[in-house]
Amino acid sequence: MPDTTEDMVAEAPDAMDVAAEPPSGPTKEFDLFEYFSIGSHVGKTLFANFTAELLTTVFGREVIVVRIESKGSRSAGDIHINSEDFAASARLPGGEVALLRPVFDRLESMAQKEVRPVIVIDWGGGLSEYRAKIWAATRIDKRLADLNMRCLSVVTTTSLMDRMRHATKLIEQTRLITPGLNLVLLLNRRVGGFTFIQGSEEARVFHELRKAAEGISIIKAQSITGESWQSCEAAGLSMSEVINADLRTLQHRLGGESSFVASAYQMQVAAWWKNTERAFLKILGTASATQR
């Protein structure tokens, strides 16, 4: 068994490491963000929510959140599309495309506005093939270009082998059918880091992913310590509310939690926000934003 020394591991590229300072430069305006994967439990909803909150609280943008998920697990959002409806979509004029009519209507109306809102789409797990069919049929990259709009498409993965294989497939698929979209690979350390023993199957799969991702931006996201965010989310708190609340209020919102534990939650969520915000600012091409 080889030692796991630095020269015996494969690691994620450092170009977009959250520890790096974002470069100066103008903000890149994106009108549409989408988070997608083949499987579930990779953090799509967490990062979609973060993006919406970042754009609202830091940049002061109006955000329209689109949830495409099972009606049995409905999350907060402005537009809801039930994943169960895709099974019967072949009978609809336009097929699967018709189910996203509310999104397309919003995009066309947004194009007429001087100050546009931003749409954030949270695709449910298992819907990537429907996404591919819809984007190919509509030629989404060309339609957005006609409307003078830009989309940031975020392929999300954890360090599990099947999820990395899924991400490789999605990057290759998206580049083929919609080459005009701006792709980003998000490496979520939710179940562990992307450091593998050289020569292992995990290292080989990760190498394939890195090869597929050549030329696109990569975000390496840390996990939030323990179950801190899950506890706050279950209490109906947003990340900004957790970070900015005074301790007594936070304790109350957490059901009378100990001040020590509530303080730890606040620090852990704040640290995650700071690191993740820094990484996203690099993608957006801005060094600073309006302070909260």
What confidence tens digit (pLDDT) does each residue in 256-274 have? 999 999 999 999 999 999 9
**What is the per-residue pLDDT for 90?**
85
Give this prediction's pTM: 0.86
Which of the four pLDDT bands, split at 50, 70 and 90, describes residue 47? very high
Return the bridge partners of 13, or none: none
Q: How far apart are CA 208 and CA 185, in angstroms?
A: 13
| pLDDT over threshold 50, residue 67 | yes
pLDDT of residue 210: 97
Is the pLDDT score of 24 beyond 60? no
Identify each DSSP E strand in the chain by its residue range.
9-10, 32-36, 63-69, 79-82, 118-123, 151-157, 182-188, 196-197, 217-221
Q: Where are the extended beta strands (E) located within 18-130? A: 32-36, 63-69, 79-82, 118-123
> Which pLDDT belongs to residue 25?
39
Query: Is residue 23 pLDDT above 80, yes or no?
Result: no
Residue 21: is its pLDDT beyond 90?
no
Residue 85 pLDDT more than 80?
yes
- Kindly indicate the confidence band of residue 226, based on its pLDDT and cuts at 50, 70 and 90: low
Q: Given this model, what pLDDT does residue 6 score?
A: 30
Q: Which single residue is written with the structure tokens 């590229």?
A: 13
The pLDDT of 249-261, averaged and rounded, is 95
- For the segment 122-178, what is each residue's pLDDT rounded down to a tens digit? 999 889 999 999 999 999 999 999 999 999 999 999 999 999 999 999 999 999 999
